[in-house]
Amino acid sequence: MKKKMTIAVMYGNRDFFPDELVLEARKDIEELFAEFDLNMVALPATASKNGSVETWAHSKACAELFKSHREEIEGVLICMPNFSDEKGVVDTLKLSQLNVPVLVQAYPDDPVDLPIERRRDSFCGKISICNNLRQYGFKYTLTSEHTSHPKSESFKKDFANFLGVCRVVNGLRTLRVGAVGARPLAFNTVRFSEKLLEHYGISVKTIDLSELIGQTMRMKDDRKEVKAKLDEINGYIPTKGIPNDPIVRMAKFAVALEEWMDFQDITATALQCWDSIQQNLGINPCTLMSMMSDKLLPSACEVDVTGAVSMYALTMATEKPAALMDWNNNYGEDANKCVFFHCGNWPKSLYPDATMRNAEILATTLGEENTYGAINGRVPAGPMSFARISTDDVDGVIRAYTGDGIFTDDKLETFGSRAVVQVPELQKLMKHICRNGFEHHAAFTNVHAAEIINEAFSNYMGWETYYHQG
C-alpha cells in the first residue's frame, strides 16, 4: 500500500489585491489534493485573511503550524492567487525550518477580464517571490509554464513530477543501503566512497556474505519462514525444469537476508551475486533480487552500491520497480539503438515472459547445477528512463546522468534479461559516460522520469548532473 504524502500549502496575498481570489484558490487546491489523494497542512481560512500569508504575524502563525508537522511534511506548495507578499512567503519558510522541496505556482490572468476585482498580477509577483527565495538560499521548483491554473493539465503534470521530486529527495536523505559481501575482484568499476554518500544522508550498512551463507546452511527446511518463502518464489515466477533443492536454498538465503534487512532498516541492497554464492550455496540470487525490486526494495548486482542508489531514485520518482543493466551491445549499425543486458535479476513486472533458468555465462565456469536462479526474458516495447550516480573521490563530488528513451521490439536473439532500446543521440551519451568515467551499469525503469530525476539530483541534492535530451 502506497504511503499517503503530506504537502504543506502556503497561500500568498497582498493587501491591495482582492482577497476573494484566495478563497477561490483554496477550493481549487483542495480539489487538486483530493484528486492526488494527499494530506494537506495549511492555515485555516479563519487564521488570517482567508488563511493567506501576508504579514509578519501571518508568517509566524503559518511557520508554527508547519513546524508542528515537520516530521510529516514532504514538500511545500506556494500558491499565488495574486501578486502575493514576498516577505510573508520567505519568512514563513525561514521560521518553519523545513528542508523539503518547494513548488512555486502562480495563477494566470484572463486578458479580456482584468477589472480591479479580478486582477491578479501573479505573473509579476512570481518573479519577486523567486528573487527572495534565492536571496534566502531556498531551493525551489518552477512550473513548465510561468503561470498555470491548478486545474490545468499542464500544472497537474508539473505537480505529479514535483511529488516525485519530493519522494526522491526525502528518500535519498535518509536512505540506508545494504552492501552484502565484497565486490567481485574483477570489478574495480563499482568502487565508491561511503563518506561522500554519507555527506548527503545515504548510509551504507555492510555484512559479510559468509554470515548469511552460514545462517542459510544451518536453517531447517521445515522452518515456517522457509516454507512461506518457497511458496512465494514458486508463485512469483515459472520454475519449470528447475530442481527443487536450489529453490529451497534460495528460500533459506532470502529468509536470512531479509531478517538482516529488517533489523537494519535497509531499503536497498547491493549483493555480491557471484561467485562465492554459487561455490558455497549452489544458487544464483537473481530471482530473490528481482522479488525485492518488485517490492520497491531495489537490489543491485555485483555490490554496485551507487547502482542501488540509482535504482532507488528511479523507484521513488515513479513508485514503480527499477532494474540495473549493462550498457551491453550495439544494435547493428543503428547509432541510436543498443542492447540492455544482465544475467538477470530485473523485476518480473518489467517483462511478462520472464522465467527462471540458470545463468548461462556464469555456468560456463561455475557449472549449470550451481547457477539456477537467473531470470530469462525480454522487456517489451514502451517508454524507458535511465539514471546513474557515481562518487568522484578525486574531485570530492557526486556525478550523475539521466535521460529518457524507448524500448523497441526489434529482433534480438539471445538469452538472459534483455531489451533493445532507442536513445536520441546515443553516441553523444556514450561519449559523456566514457569521458567522465562512469560505471558500465545504469538503472532503468519503464516510465519516463528523467525530468524528475534531473530536478531532484541537480537542484536539491546538488549533484553534477547531465540531463541527456539528445
Q: What is the pLDDT of residue 1?
A: 55
Bridge partners (DSSP) listed for residue 206: 179
At residue 409, what are phi and psi to the nearest 5 degrees?
-105, 25
Delimit the domains of the chain by residue range. 6-167, 176-468
- How is residue 272 written as a grid cell? 555480491
Neighbour tally for 4: CB within 10 Å: 10
Q: What is the pLDDT of residue 72?
A: 98
What one-character-per-residue DSSP string does 178-217 give?
Answer: EEESPPPTT-GGG---HHHHHHTT-EEEEE-HHHHHHHHH
Peptide bond into 409 cis (omega under 30): no
Q: What is the pLDDT of residue 372?
A: 94
What one-character-per-residue DSSP string does 135-164 give?
Answer: HHT---EE-SSSS--TTSHHHHHHHHHHHH
Stretches in the chain below the pLDDT threshold 50: none
Q: What is the pLDDT of residue 363?
A: 83
- For residue 94, the surrounding DSSP H or E stretch is helix 86-96
Q: DSSP state, 396?
A: T
Q: What is the pLDDT of residue 114?
A: 75
Cα angle for residues 150, 154, 155 (degrees, 5° grid): 30
Closest CA to 245 of 275, 286, 212, 216: 216
Look at the block and give the residue holding cell 550498457.
327
- How is residue 373 written as a grid cell? 536462479
Neighbour tally for 225: CB within 10 Å: 15
Cα angle for residues 299, 301, 307 (degrees, 5° grid): 70
Right CATH number for 6-167 from 3.20.20.450, 3.30.950.10, 3.30.2130.10, 3.40.50.10940?
A: 3.40.50.10940
Q: What is the pTM of this model?
A: 0.97
In this structure, whether the domain defined by 176-468 belongs to CATH 3.40.275.10 is answered with yes
- How is residue 336 written as a grid cell? 541510436
Q: What is the pLDDT of residue 3?
A: 84
User: Strand 382-392 relative to strand 268-271: parallel, antiparallel, unpaired?
Assistant: unpaired
Q: What is the pLDDT of residue 351?
A: 95
d(CA 13, CA 223): 63
Closest CA to 35 of 146, 153, 142: 153
Cβ neighbourhood burial of 435 (10 Å; 0-12, 13-18, 19+): exposed
